[in-house]
């Protein structure tokens, strides 16, 4: 009978048995031998996620300010949530105090291109806990084609180097949470497997329970052993554009249509930024079930980007678009500059297309395409993008296609 020459396990007791010249070695012994080699060479076997120092909310927000323009309220809320999450990790289990700090999951609501995902990615740069960004659009109810809800924690486990204890103290950002909204209020003979069914499956993850997670994904490797993960200490941050929720907010704010105070109340409402008045009942009207709203107690909104914010996004952050193009051309020893008029023209087009910060990238790529194609082969060492040059390049494309993209 084939068995491991080191530990004596048979082929049935192992996942993998590698044959040699005069013996066999199993996957467990291979992993242990690899760990021994890493320890002998002075390398760390596992990633360490214990925070060296506890960043204060002001310090976290200052770090976010370097990469994200505006959105002060959303940055404050995320800074406090991350700070409290660190303190929860520091709380000693079984302490004499009866008070147990509970987590406050967050939901971010904002138009496309306002910086929801950028906030999450920026937070990931400074965290000392496992962090992952997952997409809710691929999820379906268990038993149907698509990703199971438990697969959200698979990537968290991977980022934690399969250290369950570290993963149980991580942070998960669930993007596009609005795409799993309930499709309709009326009951149907067909199940809402990618809407309400996913929300019901998320309840146990958000609340906190022990979930059996497939470490390599459940669909591709059904024979693998499950890893139990306790989600009690995992902080969940959800984000979504919630397209059309402003109409739900407007209907709620204009409920008083008769009386002397009706017109005065409507005058106080900022019609250009209705998201700042968002409330949990608006999320319920949009299609989120009450149980999941109760597990996302902190609701934060992201303001739409005005002209000044878009202008700042082009030049001020550490990874600003203009700085990226300057560095790209600098690698070819080309000194690239943008005139102020050209920057104003790009911002005007972005406001016209209403695509937020992502619109800036589309416009800049269109304007810079010919220059990036031709100039690396030319001997020119300086290039200035003027407003006339930008307008000329923009006229060559079909504006209707860009608006619809």
Q: Write out the two tokens for 83.
A: 């700070």
Q: In angstroms, how far apart are the furthest CA atoms of the chain?
A: 95
Determine the average pLDDT of the residues in 305-321. Answer: 90
Tokens 């002060």 correspond to: 72
pLDDT band at 3 (very low <50, low <70, confident <90, very high): confident
pLDDT of residue 52: 44
What are the Cα distances from residue 201, in Å, to 36, 102, 142, 379?
A: 41, 21, 8, 60
Contacts of 327 (CB under 8 A, 6+ apart): none
Is the pLDDT score of 74 beyond 60?
Answer: yes
Q: What is the DSSP string of 298-318?
A: EEEEEPPP-HHHHHHHHHSST
Q: How far apart are the first and last CA of the chain?
A: 62
Contacts of 155 (CB under 8 A, 6+ apart): 132, 134
Give the residue, 216 or 44, on which the prediction is more confident: 216
pLDDT band at 76 (very low <50, low <70, confident <90, very high): very high
168-187: pLDDT as tens digits: 888 899 999 998 888 666 55
Return d(Cα 299, Cα 344) in angstroms, integer: 34
All structural domains of the chain with their residue ranges:
1-45, 57-302, 307-404
Question: Do residues 10 and 3 make contact, with C-beta atoms less than 8 angstroms apart?
Answer: yes
DSSP state of 324: H
Question: Do residues 40 and 111 make contact, with C-beta atoms less than 8 angstroms apart?
Answer: no
**Helix (H) or strand (E) run with residue 402 in it:** helix 399-404
Q: Write out the two tokens for 118.
A: 């950028």
Dump strand ranges (E) for 170-281.
171-175, 210-213, 227-230, 235-240
pLDDT of residue 257: 47
The dihedral over CA atoms of 136, 141, 145, 147, expressed in degrees to the nearest 10, equals 40
Instruction: Give the three-state DSSP class for 238.
Output: strand
Determine the average pLDDT of the residues in 13-22. Answer: 83
What are the Cα distances from residue 55, in Å, to 41, 103, 173, 236?
A: 33, 18, 20, 19
Structural class in CATH, domain 57-302: alpha beta
Q: Write out the two tokens for 51.
A: 């925070």
Is the pLDDT score of 89 beyond 60?
Answer: yes
270-298: pLDDT as tens digits: 777 888 889 999 999 998 999 999 999 99
pLDDT of residue 260: 55
pLDDT more than 90, % of the chain: 27
Q: Give which of 240, 310, 302 is closest to 274, Cα–Cα.
A: 302
Is the pLDDT score of 265 beyond 80?
Answer: no
Contacts of 323 (CB under 8 A, 6+ apart): 315
User: Buried b / exposed e across 8-41, counting CB within 10 Å, b at 16+?
Assistant: ebeeeebeebeeeeeebbbebbeeeeeeeeeeee
Determine the average pLDDT of the residues in 316-322. Answer: 90
Give the architecture-level CATH label for domain 307-404: Orthogonal Bundle (1.10)
pLDDT band at 45 (very low <50, low <70, confident <90, very high): very low
Return d(Cα 355, Cα 365) in angstroms, integer: 14
352-405: pLDDT as tens digits: 888 788 889 989 999 999 999 999 888 788 999 999 999 988 887 655 455 544
127 burial via Cβ count (<10 Å: 0-12, 13-18, 19+): middle
Is the pLDDT score of 98 beyond 90?
Answer: no
pLDDT band at 331 (very low <50, low <70, confident <90, very high): very high
pLDDT of residue 97: 62
């Amino acid at each position: 009978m084939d068995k491991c020459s080191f530990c004596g396990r048979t082929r049935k007791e192992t996942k993998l048995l590698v044959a040699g010249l005069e013996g066999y070695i199993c996957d467990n012994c291979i992993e242990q031998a690899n760990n021994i080699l890493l320890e002998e060479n002075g390398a760390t076997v596992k990633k360490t996620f214990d925070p060296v120092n506890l960043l204060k909310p002001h310090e976290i927000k200052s770090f976010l300010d370097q990469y994200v323009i505006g959105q002060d309220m959303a940055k404050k809320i995320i800074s406090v949530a991350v700070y409290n999450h660190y303190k929860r990790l520091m709380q000693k289990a079984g302490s004499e105090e009866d008070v147990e700090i509970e987590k406050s999951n967050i939901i971010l609501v904002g138009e496309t291109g306002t910086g929801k995902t950028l906030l999450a990615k920026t937070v990931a740069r400074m965290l000392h806990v496992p962090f992952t960004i997952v997409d809710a659009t691929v999820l379906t109810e268990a038993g149907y084609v698509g990703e199971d809800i438990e697969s959200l924690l698979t990537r968290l486990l991977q980022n934690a180097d399969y250290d369950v204890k570290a993963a149980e103290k991580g942070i998960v950002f669930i993007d596009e949470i609005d795409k799993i909204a309930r499709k309709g209020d009326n009951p149907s003979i067909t199940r809402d497997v990618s809407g309400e069914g996913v929300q019901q499956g998320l309840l146990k993850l958000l609340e906190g329970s022990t979930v059996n997670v497939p470490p390599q994904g459940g669909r591709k490797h059904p024979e693998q052993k499950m890893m139990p993960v306790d989600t009690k200490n995992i902080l969940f941050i959800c984000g979504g554009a919630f397209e059309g929720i402003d109409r739900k907010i407007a209907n709620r704010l204009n409920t008083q249509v008769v009386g002397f105070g009706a017109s005065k109340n409507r005058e106080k409402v900022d019609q250009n930024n209705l998201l700042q008045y968002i409330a949990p009942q608006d999320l319920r009207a949009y299609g989120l079930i009450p149980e999941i709203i109760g597990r996302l107690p902190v609701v934060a909104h992201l303001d739409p980007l005005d002209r000044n914010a878009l202008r700042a996004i082009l030049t001020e952050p550490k990874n600003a678009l203009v700085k990226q193009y300057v560095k790209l051309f600098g690698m070819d020893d080309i000194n690239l500059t943008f005139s102020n008029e050209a920057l104003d023209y790009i911002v005007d087009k972005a406001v016209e297309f209403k695509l937020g910060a992502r619109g800036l990238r589309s416009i800049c790529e269109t304007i810079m395409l010919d220059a990036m194609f031709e100039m690396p082969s030319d001997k020119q060492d300086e290039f200035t993008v003027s407003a006339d040059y930008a307008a000329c390049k923009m006229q060559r494309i079909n504006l209707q296609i860009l608006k619809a993209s």
